[in-house]
Amino acid sequence: MLSGLSHDEAEWAPVGRALAAVRVTDAGEVQQVVRACAALSVPVVTRGAGTGLSGGANATDGCLILDLSRMNRVLEIDTENLLAVVQPGVINNDLKAAVAEHGLWYPPDPASAPWSTIGGNVSTNAGGLCCLKYGVTRDYVLGLEAVMGGPAGEYGSRVRFGRRTTKGVSGYDLTGLFVGSEGTFGVITEITLRLRPAPAAEPRTVVGAFDGLVAAGAAVALCTRRGLQPAALELLDRHCMQAVEDWKHLGIEPG
């Protein structure tokens, strides 16, 4: 069990031997764990679903694994201000489904969306194919609550960054600094996210065949010049197409 919680999906990244793991359910428990580990000089490694590919959730020798997967509640969906407040263990696709019931949409779509947590998405600034048109996770994080370190005797401070409004122009952007920090600044315990109205129409897929990479790149540049903004663009060579056909049997004939 401890071994399974000690690493993410980065096969090449080194993994240390953890002392223990704790599954927390709220920010107060996170504070207690951080304070106890600080008093004992035990390093803390935070994890969500463990779907990352960077080794950011990998244990170091003698650490405590802080598992946030049970902090998985959608705390608020504000339809008037187009925002949601969630705990870090909420699964990306579960959030999408929850806001869809209100006619809203959370665009960031990493490939791991069916399994990855919002906290992990924030910590890695996850993207996805739709980032071409709609941006990455950082573009949707309005505010955060986090448990921080600090001077001796002040470990476990619970702080808030950011806002709940569309406009936010004053002060340092500490929220943006936190996004993508891989857990190096503190433990995220709550996230306020920007939402969009659900798309009015179902997306359509257009497939084009090109003789080479240069021609494909020229087609992308032409889309931009003509003011077209696709939700996603993906390049597949014949080897990838053949692999997809061998797997899914879609009737595709790679050129």
180-225 residue pLDDT tens:
998 889 999 999 999 999 988 778 888 888 888 899 999 989 988 9
Helix (H, G, I), strand (E, B) or coil at 30: helix
Tell me the residue range of the domain where 241 lies.
202-255
Domain identity same for 247 and 228: yes
Q: Which amino acid is at 20?
A: A
Tens of pLDDT, residue by residue over 46-62, are 999 999 888 889 999 99
List, in order, residues 6 or more apart from 169 with CB less than 8 Å away.
none
- 141, 86 Cβ separation under 8 angstroms: no
What is the number of other CB atoms lying within 10 angstroms of the CB of residue 112? 21
Domain identity same for 86 and 140: yes
**Is the whole model's pTM more than 0.95, yes or no?**
no
Domain identity same for 88 and 140: yes
User: Strand 64-67 relative to strand 44-47: parallel, antiparallel, unpaired?
Assistant: parallel
Residue with tokens 């890695």: 124
> Which of 197, 213, 230 delimits the end of a domain?
197
Alpha-carbon span 60 to 234, nearest angstrom: 37
Domain count across the chain:
2
Domain identity same for 253 and 174: no
> Which of 197, 215, 236 delimits the end of a domain?
197
Tokens of 38: 């600080």
